[in-house]
């Protein structure tokens, strides 16, 4: 017997009925963006490696350790997209969207690829819903982006997550703060690797999970206490608009994001029931990214929400999301004339939007009724010679077992009516 080939490690596969939850979560997370004027973008799955090196940042874990990078047949270095923001910027610049109406508002729902050590909630192919608003400095836009993420989670019934926000300052105030933090870190007892991190990316040290490091960081200077006047005002207004939008948040001055492009507003949605991989989504401003990638000097803000982790969060909160039923009505024909009738009826019902499946393979009644139950359908219609002769068909509720005899001429109408009731 031929050897069975296994799927790649760390890549979740969503099969029915669980895939119905995946689709429902993705829909819930994208729907708020569509209601706020964001248009869909279908991004390339791979890009020139330099896009991510320049866009996401060479010192980030994502770029230095986690990229799936290959040399293609033309000896070009290509990388499977580890995230969406850099690709969106590239497309906006290349296709001149930045020269049209601003802000450019874009959303996507797609898989991304990171060569991480797989564990629960951390995958090598991860699914995200993301939005990007490019060319707008208004703090009300920051609040809009954050509120759209919050709305997506809330519409699923999630309530236990926490929204954490902070400001990372800008090109004016960040360098002085960075120097201050580096000075502080130099005075600590850190291992060689962490000292090097403090030199290259000192903010990342604030995120060190080890107790012996955290203990020394109690009095570390924080960016929010060293913002320039413009950044402080921007941050104040973001919080003001979040309150107007009824979005609860906590200020989290030690928030550190894994990507280098962030400036000013940054945020993360944290779910306490998810264990180590508790970030269900995050994002922020990236006011220098467009110029870094050769575009016009436009600011931007966006988020990436983890679809996989949001599914886990729904499960952890005991929420049933999505309809696992494959169909609404299951047809059971008994005999060849009945089969012709069932095939025609299935077509008619599908055309008016009813989800229909039927028993194929000329099976006996018992097996077909089992299949009807398994399909999740609300109704079954058993079609036999007598029913056809009488031109009346039994519409059976699979939940209650009750059955009504419906004239053949009004069957489609009755089914539609019952399903809408
Ligand atoms: P990120 O924080 O790297 O941001 O990813 C966003 C979300 O994707 C995370 O909060 C998490 O829920 C999910 N995620 C990330 N890595 C994994 C993984 N290995 N397995 C499962 N889920 C994962 C970004 O990617 C930015 N591009 C977001 C953004 C858009 N910022 C501005 N615009």
Same domain, 415 and 299: no
82 lines ligand 1 (CB under 6 A): no
271 lines ligand 1 (CB under 6 A): no
Q: Give bridge partners of residue 266 from the DSSP assignment.
A: 166, 284
User: What are the distances in angstroms from CA 222 to CA 173, 194, 204, 269, 287?
Assistant: 12, 18, 13, 20, 20
- Quote the DSSP letter at residue 122: B
Same domain, 305 and 351: no
246 within some domain: yes
Contact 184, 221 (CB under 8 A): yes
Token pair recorded at residue 315: 């499960």
Q: Which of 59-68, 150-159, 244-253, 331-340 has the lowest mean pLDDT?
A: 59-68
Q: pLDDT tens digits, residue range 303-330?
A: 999 999 999 999 999 999 999 999 999 9
Residue with the two structure tokens 């699923």: 156
* Strands in 274-342 per DSSP E: 279-285, 300-306, 329-333
Residue 165, phi-psi category: left (phi > 0), alpha (psi -120 to 50), beta (remainder): beta
Q: Quote the pLDDT of residue 37.
A: 98
Beta-carbon count within 10 A of 181 CB: 20
116 lines ligand 1 (CB under 6 A): yes
Q: Quote the pLDDT of residue 1.
A: 87
Same domain, 245 and 394: no
Same domain, 406 and 263: no
Same domain, 283 and 375: no
List the one residue out of 388, 378, 386 whose CA is nearest residue 416: 378
Residue 362 has pLDDT above 90, yes or no: no
Domain boundary among 316, 339, 366: 316
> Cα separation of 369 and 366, whole Å?
5
> Cα separation of 267 and 235, whole Å?
12
Same domain, 111 and 35: yes
What's the mean pLDDT when you consider all of the chain? 96
221 lines ligand 1 (CB under 6 A): no
Residue 259 has pLDDT above 90, yes or no: no
> Cα separation of 177 and 193, whole Å?
22
Q: pLDDT tens digits, residue range 24-37?
A: 999 999 999 999 99
3-state secondary structure of 68: coil
> Cα separation of 149 and 144, whole Å?
9
Domain boundary among 267, 282, 316: 316
132 lines ligand 1 (CB under 6 A): yes
Residue 76 has pLDDT above 90, yes or no: yes
Same domain, 259 and 400: no
Residue 58 has pLDDT above 90, yes or no: no
Domain boundary among 316, 350, 383: 316
87 within some domain: yes
> Cα separation of 186 and 319, whole Å?
48
Mean pLDDT value of segment 211-223: 94
138 within some domain: yes
129 lines ligand 1 (CB under 6 A): no
83 lines ligand 1 (CB under 6 A): yes
Q: Quote the pLDDT of residue 309.
A: 98
CATH of the domain at 351: 3.40.50.800
114 lines ligand 1 (CB under 6 A): yes
Find the 283 Cα to ligand 1 centroid distance in Å.
8
- Note down the domain range covering 157: 18-173+227-316
Mean pLDDT value of segment 170-185: 95
249 within some domain: yes
Q: Which residues contact 234 (CB under 8 A, 6 or more apart)?
A: 137, 139, 142, 167, 264, 265
184 within some domain: no
Q: Which atom of ligand 1 is nearest to the CA of 306?
A: 12
Q: pLDDT tens digits, residue range 267-308?
A: 999 999 999 899 999 999 999 999 999 999 999 999 999 999
The reply to whether omega before 311 is within 30° of 0 (cis) is no
- Quote the DSSP letter at residue 4: P
Confidence label for 260 from pLDDT (cuts 50, 70 and 90) = confident
152 lines ligand 1 (CB under 6 A): no
84 backbone dihedrals φ, ψ, rounded to 5°: -105, -25
Same domain, 269 and 348: no
164 lines ligand 1 (CB under 6 A): no
321 lines ligand 1 (CB under 6 A): no
202 lines ligand 1 (CB under 6 A): no
Residue 258 has pLDDT above 90, yes or no: no
Confidence label for 210 from pLDDT (cuts 50, 70 and 90) = very high
Residue 171 has pLDDT above 90, yes or no: yes
Q: What is the tally of structural domains in the chain?
A: 2
Q: Quote the pLDDT of residue 421.
A: 87
Element (H, E) at 130: strand 125-134
Q: Which atom of ligand 1 is nearest to the CA of 286?
A: 32
Q: Whose alpha carbon is nearest atom 18 of ligand 1?
A: 122
Pocket test for ligand 1, best of 112, 309, 312, 316 (most atoms within 8 A of CB): 309
Contact 173, 226 (CB under 8 A): yes
Pocket test for ligand 1, best of 128, 266, 280 (most atoms within 8 A of CB): 128
User: What are the distances in angstroms from CA 217 to CA 213, 235, 243?
Assistant: 7, 24, 31
> Cα separation of 95 and 92, whole Å?
5
194 within some domain: no
Q: State how far Cα 200 lies from the chain centre.
A: 31
Same domain, 238 and 143: yes
Same domain, 162 and 79: yes
Residue 118, phi-psi category: left (phi > 0), alpha (psi -120 to 50), beta (remainder): beta
Residue 57 has pLDDT above 90, yes or no: no
Q: Quote the pLDDT of residue 50.
A: 96
Pocket test for ligand 1, best of 62, 103, 142, 306 (most atoms within 8 A of CB): 306
299 within some domain: yes
304 lines ligand 1 (CB under 6 A): yes
123 lines ligand 1 (CB under 6 A): yes
CATH of the domain at 98: 3.30.930.10
Same domain, 132 and 279: yes
77 within some domain: yes
Token pair recorded at residue 80: 């499977």
201 lines ligand 1 (CB under 6 A): no
User: Strands 77-80 and 69-71, how do they pair?
Assistant: antiparallel
Find the 37 Cα to ligand 1 centroid distance in Å.
22
Q: Which atom of ligand 1 is nearest to the CA of 121?
A: 21
Mean pLDDT value of segment 211-236: 96
Find the 411 Cα to ligand 1 centroid distance in Å.
49
> In degrees, to the nearest 5, what angle opens at C-alpha 143 toward C-alphas 138 and 145?
100
Same domain, 273 and 154: yes
Mean pLDDT value of segment 319-346: 96
Global confidence as pTM: 0.95
57 lines ligand 1 (CB under 6 A): no
């Amino acid at each position: 017997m031929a050897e069975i080939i296994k799927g790649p490690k760390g890549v979740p596969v969503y099969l029915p009925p669980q895939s119905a939850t995946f689709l429902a979560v993705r829909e819930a997370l994208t729907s708020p963006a569509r209601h706020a004027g964001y248009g869909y973008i279908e991004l390339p799955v791979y890009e020139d490696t330099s896009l991510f090196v320049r866009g996401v940042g060479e010192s980030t874990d994502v770029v230095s350790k986690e990229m799936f990078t290959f040399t293609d047949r033309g000896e070009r270095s290509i990388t499977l997209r580890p995230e969406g923001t850099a690709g969106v910027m590239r497309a906006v610049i290349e296709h001149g969207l930045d020269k049209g109406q601003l802000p450019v508002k874009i959303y996507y729902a797609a898989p991304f690829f990171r060569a991480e050590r797989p564990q629960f909630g951390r995958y090598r192919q991860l699914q995200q819903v993301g939005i990007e608003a490019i060319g707008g400095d208004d703090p009300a836009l920051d609040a809009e982006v954050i509120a759209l993420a919050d709305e997506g989670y809330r519409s699923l019934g999630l309530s236990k997550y926490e929204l954490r926000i902070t400001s990372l300052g800008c090109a004016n105030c960040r360098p002085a703060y960075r120097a201050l933090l580096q000075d502080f870190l130099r005075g600590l007892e850190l291992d060689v690797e962490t000292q090097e991190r403090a030199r290259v990316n000192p903010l990342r040290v604030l995120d060190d999970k080890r107790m012996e490091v955290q203990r020394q960081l109690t009095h570390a200077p924080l960016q929010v206490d060293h913002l320039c006047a413009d950044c402080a005002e921007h941050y104040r207004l973001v919080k003001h608009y979040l309150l107007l939008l009824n979005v609860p948040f906590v200020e989290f001055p030690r928030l550190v994001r894994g990507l280098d492009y962030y400036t000013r507003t940054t945020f993360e949605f944290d779910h306490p029931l998810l264990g180590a991989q508790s970030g269900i989504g995050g994002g922020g401003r990236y006011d220098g990214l467009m110029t870094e990638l050769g575009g016009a000097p436009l600011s931007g803000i966006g988020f990436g929400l983890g679809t996989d982790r949001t599914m886990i969060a729904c499960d952890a909160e005991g929420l049933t999301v999505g309809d696992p039923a494959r169909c609404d009505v299951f047809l059971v024909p008994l005999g060849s004339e009945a089969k012709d009738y069932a095939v025609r009826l299935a077509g008619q019902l599908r055309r008016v939007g009813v989800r229909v499946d039927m028993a194929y393979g000329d099976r006996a009644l018992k097996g077909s009724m089992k299949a009807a139950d398994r399909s999740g359908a609300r109704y079954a219609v058993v079609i036999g010679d007598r029913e056809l002769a009488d031109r009346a068909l039994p519409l059976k509720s699979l939940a209650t077992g009750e059955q009504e005899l419906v004239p053949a001429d009004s069957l489609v109408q009755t089914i539609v009516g019952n399903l809408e009731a």
